[in-house]
Structure 1
Amino acid sequence: MNADRANPRMRPAALSGLRHAACVFAFCLGAATAHAAGREPVLKQVDLPHSYYWRELYLPQLTTGPSSASFLPDGESLVYSMAGSLWRQRIDDDEAVELTHPKGAYDYQPDVARDGRSVVFTRYDGNAMELWWLDLADGRATQLTANGAVNVEPRLSPDGKRIAWVSTQEAHGIKAGHFNLFVADIDASGLHNARPVLGERRSTLDRYYYSAVDHAINPSWSPDGQRLLFVGNPETAWGSGDIWSVSLRDPMQRRRIHSEETSWSARPELAPDGRRVLFSSYHGRQAHQLWLTTLDGAAPLPLTFGDSERRNARWSPDGQRIAYIGNGGADGNTALEVIEVIGGARRFVVAKQRRTLDPTTRIELTITDGTGQPVPARVTVQGSDHRAYAPASAWMHADDGFDRAKQATETHYFHCEARCALDVPAGTTTITVQHGFAHAIWQQDVQAKPGATQPVRVALQSQALPPEFGRFASADLHVHMNYGGHYRNTPEHLAWQARAEDLDVVENLIVNKEERVPDIAYFGADRAPGAPRNIAHTQEFHTSYWGHLGLLGLHDHLVTPDFAAYRHTALASPWPHNGVIADLAHAQGGVVGYVHPFDTVPDPAQDAVLTHQLPADVAHAKVDYLEVVGFADHKATAAVWYRLLNLGYRLAAGAGTDAMANYASLRGPVGMNRVFVDLGDAAVDTPDPTNILAPLKGGHAFVSNGPLLGLLIGGRRPGDTLALSSAGRQSYRIALRSPVAVDHLELVQNGRVLRSFDLAGDRRTFDAQGGLDLSEGGWILLRAWNDGADPQLLDLYPYATTNPVWIELPGATRPARDDAAYFVAWLDRLIAAADARDDYNTAQEKRDTLDYLRAARTIYQGKAEGN
């Protein structure tokens, strides 16, 4: 991010005495949150921070491979979730039989009753997750809950008369939006006497990644039905909590069994013998394995080993086998495996044949680019049943938000290697294909005929910028190859994802996820023989106090520890601050940038918390680029960027998606936010991470999540300086090429709109040239933006901006005193907050931090006074 966002949600700016910002920067700043009216988060009723963690790491996701399983009583067969349906399959058979197939919805998390007659499960319809019951004899499905909440992890008691599950519903003093443990009686007529097991409790700790309200998740019954195991986090600062046991007769009788940072995936499971506790943990390693402890909390020992994930484990009824979901196969996709507890023999349960409830059609896609050459691409397929489809081995991904007025559920997509085949239900099938920003989006309805094989040829149309605007290489400066998600990614697969997105370079930022650093073993691997040349393994530095840094181009070693200012840990000290880390990165020849900066414009007069260190580090010349387009609000970030540009700081615009590239519920595909670097005379046919860094730092680039922009001022490109001896008229030329319609295209000078262009027709292509009367120095850039979201672009709203063309005009540069005063006020807040911290390791750490911040304030104060 990294995925760990560096700033809290901040209110829009309303600075007393500094109000000129409100419309000087031409969005009028209220527009910075305009996207909220349409696009909203998936499962918006969940009231927890950091949805890109709990949604991927805890809630079930649509994957083409299995996602959870439960044994039938014979111990030889399983009911499991796959591709949004429930299936039944014998372990030693290769045919899976479809049990459910809801229209416009997806089924997950089956739990088979001990008598083998029924299954409870979770169904997601785009609005909520509800509990359902399936009669295995007649196939009849009955809805159990209808509270509009998120209801997950249903588990039937051993006698089948009660059900435990996790819900965000409001009940018995429990507020809505948090994950709480519930129990109800269940019979043929439904649920009765639903009640929370535990009351609501607020922690005394300030928890950055988790809610102040404790949660209780991962229920599992004791064999006698008298107790539940669960994971809870009372007074836990880091991690999703410890493994607990609670008596259902007296919920006040609860005890902690095992303490560990579990990151949503422990899912404790009592063995049929009632003694051993099976759970998943990555303790001391980078991937989850299966572990065993006891109800008495005996020292845990690992049951499995390796570098791939093993999660969602279930015992067989006789305790001889364990079924779990892994991703250790060659393709890194989710897979269902069964292991013999004694001996360790493993078997993959593979559905080579699928007996579906309804007839299907085989769609065979062939994708070519504008020259007729085969190309990989991103593909969305929606069947006649309003469900998403993909090839059986493809990684299915889902957007993190959508507009309910335009879509029933979030967009799902996969990457296709020029040719791919998939099965869809008969009827109208909608296919959408995208290949980067320089090709028009292709969409077509196909009438799928039952039992047929239908070829579909996709010819993408090129829409590149005219070459006089530059020779560009595209790069995503902020990707996490592996970050605890459903899939297991590799550099080769990541390079293939980039090719499908028409992306030249990927910066894989190695970073911690709580205790582990998933990709740490790959540092330096980009320099190994045979490694993909367009993938760089570098670093993101985490401090959710000062802001997060991207450290590109590191060659000697990762900067460790990889984090600072982690409250309630041994690394709680705000030292080292980001300026120290920047020096360490620069000493290796690295390039330093601030990533995912601002959700709203910081307001020194009103914000409850303001600790972001950007202005101090810019003043001290520590920062090389800013993610103007990234996992933040692009307009809010640009407003801060403009103020720094006005003060003469030639801070380059960068872009990074903060994509967790092995997630199923992906924030965005790799390359959704990218920088187009103009390599100029050094342009090469195969750009790589080494030859984009110098032009990136020099500002010879534009950043975008869709629109392509070209700009020439007096023949100069972005990053160049146009030196004039006197005021006068200068030529300009601009170009726009966009895969989606654009609302606004503007030339901006020193933070003010210099010229707006009227876009007509499809608003995706525009060219203009003319003259500008330049009477003051400073900077000019071109930007494109929309008022709201576009369903075909998986971001807050379309946005692109060039870097500035700098204008030098002797004696004609207006001093930006108000901008300097804004940063003085910002640094006053920052200094006060840093001074109030009482968790520095030494007095010297505190002195050095405050001296650094006060020196930056002095610089801005001088500019505010016109010096």
Structure 2
Amino acid sequence: MQGWRGLAILAALLPGPAGVANAEREAVLKQVDLPHTYYWRELYIPQLTTGPSSAVFTPDGKALIYSMGGSLWRQTIGFDEAVELTHPIGAYDYQPDVSPDGRSVVFSRYNGAGLELWRLDLGTGGEQRLTSGDAVNVEPRLSPDGKRIAWVSTQGTGHFNLFIADIGPDGLRNARPLLGERQSKISRYYYSTYDHALNPSWTPDGKRILYVTNNEVAWGTGDIWSVAADHPSDRRKILSEETSWSARPEMSPDSKQVLFASYHGRQWRQLWLTTPDGVAPLPLTFGDFDLSSARWSPDGERVAYVSNEGGNTSLAVREFIGGATTKIVAKTRHYKSTQARLTLDIRDEQGRSVPARVAVLGSDRRAAAPTSSWMHADDGFDRALQASETHYFHCPSLCTLEAPAGDTAIWVQHGFRYLPWRQTVKLAAGENRAVPVKLHLNDLPSSFGRWRSADLHVHMNYGGAYRNTPEHLAKQTQAEDLDAIYNVIVNKEERVPDIGYFRGTPDPAGSAETLIMHSQEFHTSYWGHLGLLHLSDHMLTPDFSAYQHTALASPYPFNGVVADLAHAQGALVGYVHPFDWAIDPPKEESLSNELPADVINGKVDYIEIVGFADHKSTAEIWYRLLNLGFRLPAGAGTDAMANYASLRGPVGMNRVFLDTGGELSPAALRKALKEGRTFASNGPLLGLEVEGKHPGDTVGRKTAGKLRFRIALRSPVAVDHLELVQNGRVVKAFALKGDRRNFDTAGELQVDTGGWLVLRAWNDGSDPQVLDLYPYATTSPIYLDLPGGPSSVPSDADYFAAWLDRVVADAGSRADYRNDRERNATLDYLRNARDRFRSMSH
């Protein structure tokens, strides 16, 4: 670290203003060939957490070696001192396994490109790389005699496969896939068509390996199996189990029991026991929190595991008989490098203490955070601008952390109304450094509206590393300068993690300035996901339909039925994260999204124009619907899994601003959203006024002509394009100069036909300060009641008629309706909607 080059390189590693043309984000670990990266990455791949993430007993059973904060640590059980064993530059270490002789540790190291296996000599501290190629290599497990190693790798295929090799002083020899590739015949939604094999562990005699695979399993990561290490054709299923990536079965040292983690019909993962013959499992532990990564002690009398009972991850050792538990807490930490203490004091423009999102990158090119904070990681990054994804935490205004001495880069962000605060400080060894942070307001003029911001799509708990609560969710909300969150409760496979929190009124954990509301996402990936906001009485169950190969395989109820049930409770119904590409009906391989049918039947109250989808593609389809006269407000929702360590954006990354006159209440938010008094954004703030009217209003004129307009832009990041769009066409583009974060203008616009008008801002490529695909914002429409209308109406109507032709054909080909009544009701609804679109084109 003495020779580290400092400011210039640190600035390149911590997200800053985009300086590269056509900057593009790519998924973290893009080499993995699996769908839905935000699931397997969080649920399976080790993540950077300030608390422990995995542990193993030393051979004498007296100590644990575990991963914490991206380093490996050793701690004697019953003592509170931990010694750091590894601290790589620009990388993070996970998943240790100790050799039977206690002399070395194998582990997995992440460097931003891939995960490789390494070995640490505990005597000398020397490190040896065991794999190469930037594949994903995880879960290393040494055989009982220490001569072989099993692990999971994506090498060569992009799929998670079980590998085995001999291991000696020179490294690995004869490394090979143990099982090979197998493609299941069953269709899957969340998983590859190719089976995976993961969670390996050796039987005590060293002859077999336990693992988890999903042979012909549609949902969940599959069943617990074993395979003979020397005869891979000898495979046996032990237990059919709806596991979720982290079962990690391990046989007891006496070979009598198999310990594994499972939610097994519950909402949270606990530890369960079966036998090598797969008898009905019984729980070892209980609680409304997760226990995972369990390991037997060498004598089989204790179990070490990771828990999120306190919210963050923690480590404990439990006596198998009696259940007495010893918490492993590193009160005193002995680091490999000299540390300094950094205290941030964050205040707004009036000097008031405010919480905020913070990213700190140390001189070791590693993220740093207070030991009690939840560390989060972005889901993608531009490799031309950063070596690894951004890690961040939420600071409650005043926070203290330890970081290595040297140049330390700091980024502070408090929502969209404040400019990012950035500074690099040089920390001296042993220093206690206080850094004041003063945020600068960059807000819209109040004449454009009195806005409240809301994230319409957040999952408080969704199977992540942490255990979230309404109280903690409120703190996340406040740090992001967000006024309201809708926790849309939804299933994660068999579970509905937050169902116990549902209520028709705001959660009491909120406050007068922070609303937490529990709503619902109806989960059918066949028809399209729905947001059901402001349900007044109860959640709609089942929470999903069209789950093939289950007892709820029928595509009934379709979304129109669900919308009616929600509206009966006074709820608003929206289509969430709609489209990742512009839909071209004749060219789609299959098409079942029900949006056009529900819009023409008056079932849709809003659309997430800014959300977990491609904003421009979604807007293109939205424009076509607006052209046909449908009044559809712009909503926004992050789809943030707020208890994830590898997060799909912080809460409020995609948010809607609602002109409520400044009021913050469920009724005011509902009214503003329903009336379209909104703009949706992942950064830029937009103000639009036409003839004194604002989004959601109607400008009425008997003749065409010039309309007076006034606009404003305020943005935390530079904006490439600011445009007025009428009836789907750009009618005026504004030239932005300087830092492109502030713009005000007024003028006249020649308007020859009626229809609608929106103001939008967008960038050609990504900006690393916006943890999304690219900066984008749009107002809801101002409607123009003038003679004439959009010229594209016939072609837009034909477009949706062709769309629904495809949906009718696909829905009609299904044979899994429960009865003819369901089938006929579904097809009649779709055909009627298609025919109504056809009639609009003439």
| TM tier relative to shorter chain | over 0.9
Instruction: Indicate the residue corresponding to 1:645 in structure 2.
Output: 626
**In structure 2, distance between residues paired with 1:827 and 1:527:** 38
Matched position secondary structure for 1:615: helix
Instruction: Indicate the residue corresponding to 1:262 in structure 2.
Output: 243
CA shift for structure 1 position 832: 0.4
User: Within the alignment, does 1:781 sit opposite 2:758 as a pair?
Assistant: yes
Instruction: Indicate the residue corresponding to 1:749 in structure 2.
Output: 726
CA contact (8 A) 2:592 2:807 kept: yes
Q: Which moved further from structure 2: 843-852 or 804-813?
A: 804-813
CA shift for structure 1 position 728: 1.9
Instruction: Indicate the residue corresponding to 2:590 in structure 1.
Output: 609
Instruction: Indicate the residue corresponding to 1:166 in structure 2.
Output: 152
**Corresponding letter in the other structure for 2:93:** D
Work out which of the residue numbers 835, 838, 841 in structure 2 matches 1:861.
838
CA contact (8 A) 2:507 2:516 kept: no
Aligned residues: 821
Instruction: Indicate the residue corresponding to 2:650 in structure 1.
Output: 669
> Unpaired runs of 5+ in structure 2?
1-19
User: Within the alignment, does 1:625 sit opposite 2:602 as a pair?
Assistant: no
Alignment of 1:490-509 (within 5 A): 490-509=469-488
CA shift for structure 1 position 697: 1.1
Instruction: Indicate the residue corresponding to 1:337 in structure 2.
Output: 316
Instruction: Indicate the residue corresponding to 1:536 in structure 2.
Output: 517
**In structure 2, distance between residues paired with 1:385 and 1:230:** 36
CA shift for structure 1 position 525: 7.6
**Corresponding letter in the other structure for 1:847:** N
Alignment of 1:207-226 (within 5 A): 207-226=188-207
Matched position secondary structure for 1:605: helix
CA shift for structure 1 position 38: 1.7
Alignment of 1:32-431 (within 5 A): 38-170=24-156, 176-329=157-310, 332-431=311-410
Instruction: Indicate the residue corresponding to 2:17 in structure 1.
Output: none
**Corresponding letter in the other structure for 1:406:** L
**Corresponding letter in the other structure for 1:788:** G
CA shift for structure 1 position 91: 1.3
Instruction: Indicate the residue corresponding to 2:823 in structure 1.
Output: 846
CA contact (8 A) 1:508 1:535 kept: yes
**In structure 2, distance between residues paired with 1:37 and 1:598:** 22
**In structure 1, distance between residues paired with 2:77 and 2:592:** 55
Matched position secondary structure for 1:306: coil
CA shift for structure 1 position 147: 2.0
CA contact (8 A) 1:506 1:689 kept: no
Instruction: Indicate the residue corresponding to 2:496 in structure 1.
Output: 517
Work out which of the residue numbers 690, 704, 712 in structure 2 matches 1:727.
704
**In structure 2, distance between residues paired with 1:788 and 1:810:** 38
**In structure 2, distance between residues paired with 1:570 and 1:36:** 47
Instruction: Indicate the residue corresponding to 1:468 in structure 2.
Output: 447
CA shift for structure 1 position 831: 0.4
Work out which of the residue numbers 657, 673, 681 in structure 2 matches 1:696.
673
Matched position secondary structure for 2:255: coil
**Corresponding letter in the other structure for 1:646:** N
**In structure 1, distance between residues paired with 2:729 and 2:273:** 63
**In structure 2, distance between residues paired with 1:752 and 1:811:** 16
| 1:29-76: CA deviation from partner (whole Å, max 9, x where unpaired) | xxxxx9996210000000001111100000000000000000001212
**Corresponding letter in the other structure for 2:378:** D
**Corresponding letter in the other structure for 1:76:** K
After superposition, the Cα gap between the structure-2 partners of 1:729 and 1:182, relative to the gap in structure 1 and judged at 3 Å, is same
CA shift for structure 1 position 284: 1.8
CA shift for structure 1 position 528: 6.1
| 1:480-524: CA deviation from partner (whole Å, max 9, x where unpaired) | 000000000000110110000000000000000000000000001
| 1:432-469: CA deviation from partner (whole Å, max 9, x where unpaired) | 00000000000000001100100000000000100100
**In structure 1, distance between residues paired with 2:765 and 2:774:** 5
Instruction: Indicate the residue corresponding to 1:11 in structure 2.
Output: none
User: Within the alignment, does 1:678 sit opposite 2:659 as a pair?
Assistant: yes
Instruction: Indicate the residue corresponding to 2:779 in structure 1.
Output: 802
**Corresponding letter in the other structure for 2:796:** D
Matched position secondary structure for 2:831: helix
**In structure 1, distance between residues paired with 2:774 and 2:607:** 19
CA contact (8 A) 2:470 2:507 kept: no
**Corresponding letter in the other structure for 1:115:** D
**In structure 2, distance between residues paired with 1:199 and 1:704:** 46
| 1:724-755: CA deviation from partner (whole Å, max 9, x where unpaired) | 12122221000000000000000000000010
User: Within the alignment, does 1:434 sit opposite 2:420 as a pair?
Assistant: no
Higher relative contact order structure (alpha carbons within 8 Å, sequence separation ≥ 6): 1
CA contact (8 A) 2:504 2:536 kept: no
**In structure 2, distance between residues paired with 1:62 and 1:75:** 26
**Corresponding letter in the other structure for 2:556:** W
| 1:607-658: CA deviation from partner (whole Å, max 9, x where unpaired) | 1011100000000000000000000000000000000000000011100000
CA contact (8 A) 1:504 1:688 kept: no
User: Percent same amino acid at aligned positions?
Assistant: 65
**In structure 2, distance between residues paired with 1:405 and 1:793:** 16
Matched position secondary structure for 1:78: strand
Work out which of the residue numbers 537, 550, 566 in structure 2 matches 1:585.
566
Matched position secondary structure for 1:753: strand
**In structure 2, distance between residues paired with 1:669 and 1:848:** 40
CA shift for structure 1 position 811: 4.2
**In structure 2, distance between residues paired with 1:729 and 1:790:** 36
**In structure 1, distance between residues paired with 2:789 and 2:507:** 52
CA contact (8 A) 2:509 2:516 kept: no
CA contact (8 A) 2:340 2:428 kept: yes
**In structure 2, distance between residues paired with 1:42 and 1:266:** 23
Instruction: Indicate the residue corresponding to 1:557 in structure 2.
Output: 538
User: Within the alignment, does 1:708 sit opposite 2:672 as a pair?
Assistant: no
Matched position secondary structure for 1:252: strand
**In structure 1, distance between residues paired with 2:536 and 2:383:** 46
**Corresponding letter in the other structure for 1:496:** K
Instruction: Indicate the residue corresponding to 1:568 in structure 2.
Output: 549
TM-score after normalising by structure 1:
0.94
CA shift for structure 1 position 531: 5.3
CA shift for structure 1 position 812: 5.3
CA contact (8 A) 1:595 1:627 kept: yes
TM-score after normalising by structure 2:
0.97
Alignment of 1:10-21 (within 5 A): none
After superposition, the Cα gap between the structure-2 partners of 1:500 and 1:732, relative to the gap in structure 1 and judged at 3 Å, is same
After superposition, the Cα gap between the structure-2 partners of 1:529 and 1:754, relative to the gap in structure 1 and judged at 3 Å, is closer
